[in-house]
Chains A and B, each alone.
Chain A
Amino acid sequence: MTMKKTRIISTLLLALVVLVVKAQQTPGAKQTQPISIVGATAHIGNGEVLANATLVFENGIITAIGDANTPTKGTVIDASGKDLYPGLIALETSLGLVEVDAVRASDDEDELGDFIPHVRSQIAYNAESKVIESMRPNGILLAQVAPKGGIISGSSSVMQLDGWNWEDATVKADDAIHLNWPSSFSRGRWWLGEDPGLKTNTNYPKQVAAIKEFLEQAQAYNKASSTERNQVLEATAGLFKGTQSLYINADTQQEIIDGVQTAKGLGIDRIVIVGGTMAYKITDFLKENNVSVAVAATHKLPPTEDADYDFYYKLPKLLSDAGINVGIHTMDKANFQTRNLPFFAGQVVGQGMDKEEALGMITLKAAQMLGIDDHYGSLEVGKSATLFISNGDALDMRTNQLDAAYIDGRSLSLETHQTTLYKRYSGKYGH
């Protein structure tokens, strides 16, 4: 055998090994037998806790939840001393759209164009992503997958994180359109010799007018029944019918108020503010307009030099205490960081938020923002059996230790590319 041939063969072998090692964990099979989980502390997701609970699910649906006297069915899993949670839900992620941040070829989150609601994340979702499989062992079972960039970035979809393909993984297609509201402050272009700091954005009114113009056109187009098809404007139809949400990324009072007023003025009712750094100053306005806020992942540096060191730790509490529906988004974070979602919520507990309320931000409240709360977000009869068992408090790093997880009743693999390597090298050293 020549050297060259040897090399080719070993390359092939290597490729095979890599494929074997790197292949995604196999999605769980459809639930065929009823499963009962007994003895756990059940965190319902709506603020309630049920000690020593029994939960039964059949054909992917929760059929019973109650105290220890609740009759069990099928396979009984003893979860005494453990905690039972609804699957955690991540908002505004790029899961499945980006694999490795620095590798451009693996990045599908940002399309050309300023107003591109027709661009849809759903079909680019890479169900085989190794980053996605690393979510499950931390309890994150559902995610909104959203495009980024431009002014209207595109349409997101809600996915469950254990699918064979995007179609299979889709929970709700095109649930929302994502709008980056212009900033009321702009940064100097230092490369043109301007001061790099922030100053009032003098183009703000123009930029706002452009958004308003686009949405007015969209509204007009969607009122007509037969006109030449415009795939861009058509993609916004759900906004005006109330079947799609508008996620507005805005931070200052002015941006939030302008964004909400503009949308409401055009008959868009389902609005979520993303970010909302200063939203705590206008909670009455948000309540009056029934607007939810998806705040930034709390592990974030304070917005200004003068801000309290714990500004983002406590922001969700400030909003929640004022009666605002609060969730947590992870779009500012690198993709892989989404697995820390439970800890972003846990951080707020240190600021005095009730633990169950903190859990609600990443379960039921998030489901409500996504419009999937009739099926997901809490452990209630009739809802999907999308849940997990943890050896302890899932919001704390030390104790977030999953034993089992289910999506629509399917038992999931909690193995990942990372656990595979862990086992391989632990084996090498005989640990």
Chain B
Amino acid sequence: MKLNKLLVCLVFSSFGMVSAQEYFPKHDGVKVKNNNFYAFTNATIHTSPSQTLQNATLLVHDGRVVSVGTSVQIPANSVVKDLSGKHIYPSFIDAYSNFGAKKPKRASSNGRSAQYEPSREGFYWNDHIMSDQNTIEGFSFSKKDAEKLLQSGFGVVNSFVSDGIVRGTGTLVSLNLDASNSVRVLSNKSAQYFSLSKSITSNQSYPTSLMGSLALLRQFYADSKWYAQGKSQTKDRSIEAFLSNKSLPQIFEAGSLDNLLRVDKLGDQNAVQYTILSGGDSYKNPQKVKASGATLIVPLDFPKAYDVSNPAEAEILSLEQLLEWNQAPSNPKVLEENGIPFAFTAHKLKNPKDLLSNMRLAVAYGLSKNKALEALTTAPARILKQSNIGQLKAGYLANFLITSGDLFEADTKLFQNWTQGTAYVIEDENDVDIRGNYSLAIHSTNLKLEISGSKDKPSVKVFKDSIKLNSKFNYADSWMELSVDNEDKSAKYLLSARIDKAGSFSGMGIATDGSDFKFTATKDANADQKSDKGQQYNTHELMPVSYPNKAFGNIQLPKQQTILFKNATVWTSEAAGILEHTDVLVKDGKIAKIGTNLSARNAQVIDATGKHLTAGIIDEHSHLALSAVNEAGHNSTAEVKMEDAIDSNHPGIYRSLAGGVTSLQLLHGSANPIGGRSAIIKTKWGATADELVYENSPQFIKFALGENVKQSNWSSYSRFPQSRMGVEQLFVNYFQRAKEYDKAKKAGKDVRYDEELEVLAQIINGERFISCHSYVQSEINMLMKVAEQFGFRVNTFTHILEGYKVADKMAEHGVGGSTFSDWWAYKFEVNDAIPYNAAIMQREGVTVAINSDDAEMNRRLNQEAAKTVKYGGMSEEEAWKMVTINPAKLLHLDHRVGSIKEGKDADLVLWNDHPMSVYAKAEKTLIEGAVYFDLEEDLAKRKTLQKQKGELMQMMLQEKLLGKPTQKPKTQETKYLSCETL
């Protein structure tokens, strides 16, 4: 086989259709030109995904298609190939490949101290903006890699260096093994690539997070615009390169559904529609993907079934993992159904050869053949804005596959892959199928020879009468070789024969005694052909997708209902106090009426006798449901937004609901004096990140003081500030700059947009509020003084564990305190933290909330509120306000949530006991009148979970029995982040 391939290659290289550049001199022979044609006749030709010609001819000359059709004139100087029974397809295109691109080299570590400055001069201030990187410059055509791709059916790939946030340009290259880069490089700069991951070639610290990457890109777009307008005083080669590549296709690596939506939003902000490398998870919310308007590049990579034969090992698998295996092969079908344009890529496939079998699997799951072919041919061509690849039409590159039949049939083989008129033989199509039963005559002995198995690698059994003889067999390159032992293994016969046609054959043999002989094999009957079917694409039953697509997800999102709670103990968190035997009517998402003997038509009536109804709990300080928490690359990161990092699938959201929590402020961490902007969300389990965020949300930002911002508890000594003295000066500096920026803007001066200063100016202007991580009294007092110096007020001190020491000053400044109930002793600066803090601050006139900063405590904030009764003797009514109306006030949301008042959002919790008792359970948690948590529903969900997992594991066991590849169980980890997570 190998020899054959080599021969073919040699043949074509000497008579190559595509010769070197015509103006190049030749020194090793005579310079000639081959003007012959290739005519491929009698083939089924798929000229494009939508057109198939039967019994047609493809005429190729000089690397291009001359004509294709059923009445093609074949010039006399044509080499004619009869392809009767065979199919021709345009070869595949991968718009997302790293073929031949230079591998980025990881920068050597520079010790403990972070690098804040860029490594280069004359470029953008951030090394991870590598728009000046051009793949063509380090491009090296690898024959080995090219062969792998050719074997998988690819003819052209768009290759790029997979490194950096702005990654520069890719190169479009044809996989022609028999030409120089001058021929096969179709475009030096074919597309501009982006990602959210920074370069491994630079240690520059910023950005360290998802939201930092997005902020960096936003600022880079703004700076490029400024530069393009000629307003920059300095030269920047990164921006110049970026601007010159702006009209190229813009391809962004997102990788997951959440990132896809984030990336598309970035595009919208900058009037760019990216083509997006998605994950295989778009089926989880195709409507949102469709709404993005993006064309996707989809890895044809499906998870392997887990080997669940050991129950102890299988126990760690989550429903989400099992569902992903079950549902992922349907992703392409779902994309097609929803009219989402997409191309396939072999990116992420360990072996590009899996592409074809995965595509066939996708077809088995309902993807149409046309769409599948399109996704590998015309769709990537369209993404790359290329008009001469992806189809077989006159003038197009002669890039095509010759197959044994319909590409989507399980047993169809790829024979040849032609690029630019040059053949690459994937599988020798000339081998005769020798399978069958033969009567084998050696000397005078008559044996039975059964050849079966696959056509390419058949196996044999040799019998004498009914006794099976020991034998070895090989069949390749038109030669078959067989060794057979006699019954007692005392003698061996070696046989060989050249096979040129099917049927009986004969050849020569040598026996162990050195004698040679002739033999004949007379064919009796054809072997069973069914064994050649190869891989079967059997599908399993698809599980329904839920929101989110994991344990306790909702098949449908909860809907607003009209609900009448009868005879409850109602904790209003208002002046009305705690009302016994009271009814509350919920309608259209609002609290419609509070009273006694209420009735309402069509209302679902809930007997709340003996139960307690409260407003939903609000956690002023949370990092739940985030994919990242700190942008630790700079000491001020006002430009980053936690809204960019919301993880709407986080199981903590459901658990939060189970603890009666309906609103969270998701804060940036405490790594920096000036942190990022908050996301204020409702715990609407199943909604997307954008839907979780409050409409017209009040604008907040996290600040931090003390040990974390001066990096006291880890070994880092290179970043300002290292002391509380430095923290003050940092604030003064940033606010002064923001003030001047704002002044210049207001004076109508042409100011370079600086997102960080914009945000800080909002604080000075009272449009954005600070929630500041704080511990000791000195720093608390300091920030109030800095704020007063710049004419604004600090909104909230969070943690504020020594607030009780300066509660009078806080009250005077007008700042609120959001604190732990009883945490202390975990670091030096909380030595004087006392659980009476909340009570003292409250008595001194500070608005006080109890918060969690912890995914576990978050779901028990009712109990944490109760601790203020124990420590400091708060009244129960006041204590309860500390987790409802008080945090609502601190978040400027008290007009909407935080109490039971007519007209407010129906964010309510029904408790089976006194809401601050350790014994109490939330029975129902409502958000805007929709029941998001229900204790009974929870029990039902547990049952469904067990049932589904059982069924999915059965399917996986079945998969293993069928001999399909499996993987060992392993988990994905749920991230629980805290202030200090870097």
Contact indicator A346/B840 (Cβ below 8 Å)? no
Contact indicator A309/B828 (Cβ below 8 Å)? no
In angstroms, Cα B839 to Cα A419, docked, is: 13
Chain A residues with CB under 8 Å of B968's CB are 199-200
Which of A44-52, A71-79, A84-92, A297-305 forms contacts with chain B? A297-305
Residue of chain A at shortest CB distance from B916? A398
Encode A367-402 as 1/0 by CB contact (under 8 A) with B: 000000000000000000000000000011111110
Contact indicator B918/A429 (Cβ below 8 Å)? no
Q: Known interface pairs A300-B856, A400-B870, A429-B844. Does A200 touch B651 (Cβ–Cβ under 8 Å)?
A: no
Contact indicator B658/A309 (Cβ below 8 Å)? yes
Chain A residues with CB under 8 Å of B826's CB are 100-102, 334, 336
In this assembly, does A288 line the interface, its C-beta being within 8 Å of a C-beta of chain B? no
Contact residues, A276-334 vs B (CB, 8 A): 278, 299-302, 304-306, 308-310, 334
Residue of chain A at shortest CB distance from B873? A401
Contact indicator B971/A197 (Cβ below 8 Å)? yes
Residue of chain B at shortest CB distance from A278? B315
Which of B57-65, B232-240, B346-354, B803-811 forms contacts with chain A? B803-811
In angstroms, Cα B856 to Cα A185, docked, is: 23
Contact indicator A349/B313 (Cβ below 8 Å)? no
Chain A residues with CB under 8 Å of B831's CB are 100, 130
Contact indicator B973/A197 (Cβ below 8 Å)? yes
Contact indicator A431/B312 (Cβ below 8 Å)? no
Residue of chain B at shortest CB distance from A397? B866
Contact indicator B856/A301 (Cβ below 8 Å)? yes
Closest Cβ–Cβ distance, residue A152 to chain B (whole Å)? 25
Which of B44-52, B561-569, B857-865 forms contacts with chain A? B857-865
Q: Which of A130, A253, A340, A429 contacts B312 (CB 8 A)?
A: A253
Contact indicator B658/A301 (Cβ below 8 Å)? no
In this assembly, does B945 line the interface, its C-beta being within 8 Å of a C-beta of chain A? yes
Contact indicator A396/B844 (Cβ below 8 Å)? no
Contact indicator B974/A299 (Cβ below 8 Å)? no
Encode B868-887 as 1/0 by CB contact (under 8 A) with A: 01101000100000000000
Chain B residues with CB under 8 Å of A339's CB are 822
In this assembly, does A99 line the interface, its C-beta being within 8 Å of a C-beta of chain B? yes
In this assembly, does A350 line the interface, its C-beta being within 8 Å of a C-beta of chain B? yes
In this assembly, does A29 line the interface, its C-beta being within 8 Å of a C-beta of chain B? no
Contact indicator A308/B971 (Cβ below 8 Å)? no
The prevalent SS among residues of B at the interface is loop
Chain A residues with CB under 8 Å of B971's CB are 197-199, 304
Chain B interfacial residues counted at CB < 8 A: 68
Residue of chain A at shortest CB distance from B311? A253
In angstroms, Cα B713 to Cα A418, docked, is: 24
Contact indicator B318/A306 (Cβ below 8 Å)? yes
Contact indicator A304/B318 (Cβ below 8 Å)? yes
Contact indicator A305/B318 (Cβ below 8 Å)? yes
In this assembly, does B147 line the interface, its C-beta being within 8 Å of a C-beta of chain A? no
In this assembly, does A425 line the interface, its C-beta being within 8 Å of a C-beta of chain B? yes
In angstroms, Cα B830 to Cα A335, docked, is: 13
In angstroms, Cα B971 to Cα A196, docked, is: 8
Q: Which of A100, A309, A336, A418 contacts B655 (CB 8 A)?
A: A309
Chain A interfacial residues counted at CB < 8 A: 55
Contact indicator A397/B844 (Cβ below 8 Å)? no
Q: Known interface pairs A304-B316, A422-B872. Does A100 touch B918 (Cβ–Cβ under 8 Å)?
A: no
In angstroms, Cα B707 to Cα A419, docked, is: 25
In this assembly, does A103 line the interface, its C-beta being within 8 Å of a C-beta of chain B? yes
Q: Known interface pairs A305-B974, A400-B870. Does A350 touch B827 (Cβ–Cβ under 8 Å)?
A: no
Closest Cβ–Cβ distance, residue B875 to chain A (whole Å)? 11
In this assembly, does B919 line the interface, its C-beta being within 8 Å of a C-beta of chain A? yes
Contact indicator A397/B828 (Cβ below 8 Å)? no
Q: Which of B824, B827, B857, B863 contacts A103 (CB 8 A)?
A: B827
Q: Which of A305, A336, A350, A419 contacts B824 (CB 8 A)?
A: A336
In angstroms, Cα B972 to Cα A347, docked, is: 29
Contact residues, B918-976 vs A (CB, 8 A): 918-921, 938, 942, 945, 949, 968-974, 976
Q: Known interface pairs A425-B840, A431-B840. Does A309 touch B654 (Cβ–Cβ under 8 Å)?
A: yes
Interface centre among A184, A300, A310, A346 (most CB of B within 10 A): A310
Chain A residues with CB under 8 Å of B901's CB are none
Residue of chain A at shortest CB distance from B933? A309
Chain B residues with CB under 8 Å of A346's CB are 918-919
In angstroms, Cα B304 to Cα A83, docked, is: 60
In angstroms, Cα B317 to Cα A185, docked, is: 12
Contact indicator B832/A421 (Cβ below 8 Å)? yes
Interface centre among A101, A254, A308, A346 (most CB of B within 10 A): A308
Q: Known interface pairs A103-B828, A343-B863. Does A397 touch B918 (Cβ–Cβ under 8 Å)?
A: yes
Contact indicator B876/A398 (Cβ below 8 Å)? yes
Residue of chain A at shortest CB distance from B945? A306
Encode B716-740 as 1/0 by CB contact (under 8 A) with A: 0000000000000000000000000
Chain A residues with CB under 8 Å of B914's CB are 398
Chain A residues with CB under 8 Å of B316's CB are 185, 198, 304
In this assembly, does B836 line the interface, its C-beta being within 8 Å of a C-beta of chain A? yes
In angstroms, Cα B921 to Cα A308, docked, is: 14
Q: Known interface pairs A184-B312, A418-B834, A422-B872. Does A398 touch B921 (Cβ–Cβ under 8 Å)?
A: no
Interface centre among B319, B827, B863, B867 (most CB of A within 10 A): B863
In this assembly, does B510 line the interface, its C-beta being within 8 Å of a C-beta of chain A? no
Contact indicator A395/B918 (Cβ below 8 Å)? yes
Closest Cβ–Cβ distance, residue B599 to chain A (whole Å)? 33
Chain A residues with CB under 8 Å of B859's CB are 309
Contact indicator B918/A131 (Cβ below 8 Å)? no
In angstroms, Cα B433 to Cα A274, docked, is: 66
Encode B474-491 as 1/0 by CB contact (under 8 A) with A: 000000000000000000
In angstroms, Cα B61 to Cα A109, docked, is: 80
Chain B residues with CB under 8 Å of A188's CB are 970
Contact indicator A418/B835 (Cβ below 8 Å)? yes
Interface centre among A130, A299, A304, A425 (most CB of B within 10 A): A425
In angstroms, Cα B655 to Cα A301, docked, is: 9
Chain A residues with CB under 8 Å of B920's CB are 350
In this assembly, does A168 line the interface, its C-beta being within 8 Å of a C-beta of chain B? no
Chain B residues with CB under 8 Å of A227's CB are none
In angstroms, Cα B830 to Cα A100, docked, is: 9
Contact indicator A397/B840 (Cβ below 8 Å)? no
Contact residues, B738-761 vs A (CB, 8 A): none
In this assembly, does B551 line the interface, its C-beta being within 8 Å of a C-beta of chain A? yes
In this assembly, does B917 line the interface, its C-beta being within 8 Å of a C-beta of chain A? yes
Closest Cβ–Cβ distance, residue A39 to chain B (whole Å)? 23
In this assembly, does A426 line the interface, its C-beta being within 8 Å of a C-beta of chain B? yes
Contact indicator B860/A305 (Cβ below 8 Å)? no
Q: Which of B319, B828, B843 contacts A306 (CB 8 A)?
A: B319
In this assembly, does A111 line the interface, its C-beta being within 8 Å of a C-beta of chain B? no
In angstroms, Cα B807 to Cα A398, docked, is: 24
Q: Known interface pairs A100-B831, A309-B654. Does A299 touch B824 (Cβ–Cβ under 8 Å)?
A: no
Chain B residues with CB under 8 Å of A254's CB are 312
In this assembly, does A252 line the interface, its C-beta being within 8 Å of a C-beta of chain B? yes
Q: Known interface pairs A102-B713, A422-B840, A431-B840. Does A299 touch B856 (Cβ–Cβ under 8 Å)?
A: yes
Chain B residues with CB under 8 Å of A401's CB are 870
Contact indicator A396/B836 (Cβ below 8 Å)? no
In angstroms, Cα B316 to Cα A199, docked, is: 8
Extra inter-chain contacts (20) besides given A301-B655, A400-B870, A425-B807, CB under 8 Å: A101-B826, A102-B828, A200-B969, A299-B857, A305-B318, A306-B550, A306-B945, A309-B859, A334-B823, A336-B822, A336-B825, A343-B918, A397-B918, A398-B869, A418-B836, A421-B804, A422-B840, A425-B805, A426-B840, A431-B844
Q: List 15 A-B contacts (CB under 8 A).
A: A101-B827, A102-B827, A131-B825, A184-B312, A301-B856, A305-B550, A334-B823, A350-B918, A396-B866, A398-B866, A399-B870, A418-B834, A422-B834, A425-B805, A429-B844
Q: Which 5 A-B pairs have the closest CB atoms?
A: A102-B827, A199-B970, A346-B918, A397-B866, A422-B836
Q: Which residues of A contact B (CB under 8 A)?
A: 99-103, 130-131, 184-185, 188, 195-200, 252-254, 278, 299-302, 304-306, 308-310, 334-336, 339-340, 343, 346-347, 349-350, 395-401, 418-419, 421-422, 425-426, 429, 431
